[in-house]
Amino acid sequence: MLCRMAIVAITSSGIKNARRYVSVMESAGAETRVLIPDDHSSLPTEELMDGVGGLLLCGGPDVDPALYGEVPDPDAGLTLNRPLDDLELRILDFALERDMPVLAICRGMQLLNVAFGGKLIQDLPGHRSQKVDDKWVPGSHVIYIAPGAKAAPVIGMAGFFKVNSLHHQGLKEAHRAPRLMTTAYEVEDGLIEGLESPEHSWVIGLQCHPERQDEVPKLFDNLFLGLRERAETYISALAA
């Protein structure tokens, strides 16, 4: 019997924003399906996810504070896209109900926390790119990934890693959804850098951007290989 290439759904605000994620997933051997609000908001979730074995929630605009019971802070410089929020929440709900593997990056990790009932800090100064000599330079910091994290064996090890920092929202323990587990944090200020769901087989969230492969350790490529492998296993189990 021929082995089907795994399809990984990638939700994004637009095709341009999704390109880097598509590239890393295809390099990992997966087929991709990009889902964007402009084209897919009106289609049934079952149709959008037909044949999909894994979900990648990628970086993008800010999550609407109304979704976690707050009013947008006028000084936070928020960029909102509620149609994207709504699309991702129903796609994520579909995936979680079926124990489909999920990799949630940056905004994706924040959305994961909100979907489970958590909140966000609306603005975090000093955590994104800075202009140096007329060039934008990504921020960076050191994070610690716990040995008990599911991400640790996927990456290849636990411990301290220097990674990029390209976000202005985030969360600390007070904002974390109780059903999620903190698996990584920033060493200097204690911001949560990793979330996982103990209720699911493979739901991994990271605040950094591993798709920007020259800004994180090479081992982080294994996250995309791991998602592809899990997606293949998911599809094989459905066909059995």
Model confidence pLDDT, tens digit, residues 101-134: 999 999 999 999 999 999 999 998 755 555 455 5
> Mean pLDDT over residues 206-224, rounded?
97
Residue with tokens 């090479």: 218
Determine the pLDDT at residue 97.
98
**Beta carbons of 14 and 40 less than 8 angstroms apart:** no
Q: Which domains does the chain have, with CATH numbers?
A: 7-239 (3.40.50.880)
Determine the pLDDT at residue 239.
86
pTM of the model: 0.94
> Mean pLDDT over residues 169-182, rounded?
97
**Beta carbons of 184 and 149 less than 8 angstroms apart:** yes
- What are the residue numbers of the active site? 106, 209, 211
Tokens found for residue 95: 């995936």
Nearest one of 52, 29, 94, 48 to 235, comparing CA atoms: 52
Q: How many residues does the chain have?
A: 240
Residue with tokens 């492998």: 229
- Render the burial of 114-137: b for 16+ CB within 10 Å, e for the rest: bbbebbbbbebeebeeeeeeeeee
